[in-house]
Every structure is written in structure tokens, then in C-alpha cells.
Copies of this chain bind each other. A is one copy, B any other.
Amino acid sequence: MQNKITKSRVSRKKNEVREHVDIRAVARLANVSVSTVSRTLSGIVNVDLKMANRVWKVVNDSGYMPNKQARALASGRSKIFGIIISNLNNPFFPELIQGFEDVAVERGYEILVGSTHYDKDCMVQCIRRMIERNVDGVAIMTSGIDDLSIDQLKKRDIPLVFVDTKVNHERASVLQCDYGHGIRQGVQHLAILGHRNIAFVSGPSELNSAKLRLTAFSRSLVECGIHNKSAWIIPGNHTFEGGIVAMKRLFAIGDLPTAIMCSNDMTAIGVLHALLQQGLRVPADMSILGFDDIDPARTTIPPLTTIEMPRIELARAAIDALGGHSHGIQWAKDRQNATIRTTLVVRKSTGFPRGAMSDLLLG
């Protein structure tokens, strides 16, 4: 028995003739114990300066890089945050993911992105992948997540953060977006230009953020003393095509507003196309306002006036919420609920109502 073990050890050793430096090698070279190396690298515990320096020297000279898999296994913390989105082809997400990654890396974390592709099975698989990789938290940035999957996460005490969720899951943070502020700025901007006839192309009715945007719009209209004509609330679906369809509907009504606010930028871009197709100029004949400030909004013709959804902040808040939890203890107290404020970005798609200039000239 003894012999066998020895033999096996030896054969392992033989394979390791390759100069793969592990923590043990570093310890040996620095003439300290592995735990001292570990402590030195973690930097949390005090280590005698002499030894620490020896360790650092060896680390630098040998090009040692710790194996995070092993670290994760031993410590129970993977240093990975998961983030669930619908998919990257939706232009809202790339910037969000980029922000999430940047902040995560800044704090020594890796990210694992899961795309649901608006598909239930995909969702379930995403969550499973996250659990299998032992993520230290997951940010859920898309709606319609299966409750059973969420339970899987909760059962394992994995910190969670949602955005704009109404159901305030216990044991989970939720980030609230203040759509009101940006939308109010938008409506006021239009009101100041002289608009009194403003339509709104909404988003999917099952999407909470879309509902909130619509509500904020209606409220802002009231605040500005503008008549809220229900026929001018056109249903949309947050896509380019949806914007075009919405405009068709509006044209069908016959009674055109002087400005159109959209629940998101893609819709606004669709509206822009439909308008130009009909020979209407933006903003001369019609003002358009978007929402989100996705990248393409900057380069449409004319560049889109829109309400910025600060995705970098969102990302940062999400990671704060995730990292703020201390190992599943004291959840209720740790819960971090931040509010993200939206703001107006004025570009070129908004102007005076049609006829206003001639009014001025005549007046």
C-alpha cells in the first residue's frame, strides 16, 4: 500500500517536470510556507515585511499567477458575478454589459453573461450555468424570469439584484429607475418649444419599465397643463418595426400631433423613418423624442433628442448591491435599493411646432 502511494506520487512528480509554478513552488523558492505566500498575496493579514518581500520577488521573477479555480474551490467564493440579459443584439445591452464588466474587473471579479433570447428554456439554462459556476451574485436585467429559477438562486443564498421589479423579492435588492425626472424634462422641453399636442408610442405592456415610462409621460403632461389625448397613446413594442407600425396608426387617425415621444430609441428611429417616408421633415414638421440614449441615437439624421438611461451607473449600482451582501447573512438589512436618475439629452430631432416659425414671422 505504502509502495503504491509512493509510486503514484512519483509518477505525478515526473509529469511535473514542466515548470508550472504553483503556490508551493513559490513557497519553496521564497523559503516560506504556502500559507505565508497565500497571506502575502491576499494582503489582508499582516505578514512580516522581510518574508513578504521575498515572496513578492519570487512571484514577480517566476511570473506566478494564482489559479482562481482552485482559489474559488477552497474559499467558496468564485469572484464571478452573473448578469442576465435578453441578448446583445438589443442595442440597450452592450453598454450595460461593458459597464458591468469594467466595474467588476475593477473590483477583482469576472462576469458571466447569460442571454435569455426571450426564451424560457434559455433562461433556465442561464441560471443553471450561473449556479454551476458558483457565481457570487447575479444581476437580472431582463424581465420575465421564471420564478422557479429564481428560487434555485435564493435557495443557495446567492445575492440577487433586479431592476424595476414591482414584486420586491425578499432577500434581493432592486434598482429603481427614476423615469419621472427625465420624462418630465422631456415634456417640459417640448412645452417650452410650444408643443401642446404630444403623442406617445409606448412599449410592451407587460414590461414594467415600459409601463412606468408611460405613466410618467401622462403625469408630466398633466403637470404641464397639456391635454392628454388618449388616441395619441399608441401601442408599440420597443422595436424599429414597431415604430413604423405605430406611425401608420397615427397617420390613420388623421389628427396629427406636433411632437411624438417614444418609449425607447429604436421606436423613435422607426418613427423617424415612417415620417420621412411620408415626406415630413424632422423637426420642422414633427418633433421626436426617444428614450435610453443608445449609441445609434447620436448618429441618426437628425441626431435624436432623447432621455438618457445611465447604464454605467446602473451597472455600478448593480455590482454595489451584489457586493454589499455579506455571505447571505442578514439579508434584509443588507438589501441595497438604489435609484437611478434619467436625464434629457437635447439633440436635433426636436424644434418648434410646425407653423410656429411662420407665426413668429407673421406676428
Residues of A at under 8 Å CB distance from B?
63, 65-70, 72-73, 78, 87-89, 91, 93-95, 97-98, 101-102, 105, 110-113, 115, 125, 128-129, 131-134, 152, 240, 266, 269-270, 272-273, 276, 295-296, 298-301
A102 (CB) vs chain B CBs: closest residue: B115
How many copies of the chain does the oligomer comprise? Answer: 2
Q: Which of B72, B105, B295 contacts A129, CB < 8 Å? A: B105
Q: Are A152 and B63 in contact (CB under 8 A)?
A: yes
**A91: B residues at CB distance < 8 A:** 91, 94, 295-296
Q: Are A115 and B101 in contact (CB under 8 A)?
A: yes
Q: Are B89 and A94 in contact (CB under 8 A)?
A: yes
A37 CB to closest chain B CB, in angstroms?
15
**Could you tell me the distance between the alpha carbons of A358 and B120 in the complex, rounded to whole angstroms?**
56
Q: Are A98 and B115 in contact (CB under 8 A)?
A: yes
A281 CB to closest chain B CB, in angstroms?
11
Q: Are A134 and B94 in contact (CB under 8 A)?
A: no
Q: Are A65 and B132 in contact (CB under 8 A)?
A: yes
Query: Interface of chain A, helix or strand or loop or mixed?
Result: helix
A129 (CB) vs chain B CBs: closest residue: B110
**Could you tell me the distance between the alpha carbons of A70 and B133 in the complex, rounded to whole angstroms?**
9
A173 CB to closest chain B CB, in angstroms?
23
A282 (CB) vs chain B CBs: closest residue: B301
Q: Are B299 and A269 in contact (CB under 8 A)?
A: yes
**A296: B residues at CB distance < 8 A:** 91, 295-296, 299
Interface pairs A-B: 3 shortest CB-CB: A296-B296, A88-B94, A88-B98
**A112: B residues at CB distance < 8 A:** 110
A112 CB to closest chain B CB, in angstroms?
6
**Could you tell me the distance between the alpha carbons of A112 and B299 in the complex, rounded to whole angstroms?**
30
Q: Are A69 and B134 in contact (CB under 8 A)?
A: yes
**A105: B residues at CB distance < 8 A:** 125, 129
**Could you tell me the distance between the alpha carbons of A217 and B133 in the complex, rounded to whole angstroms?**
47
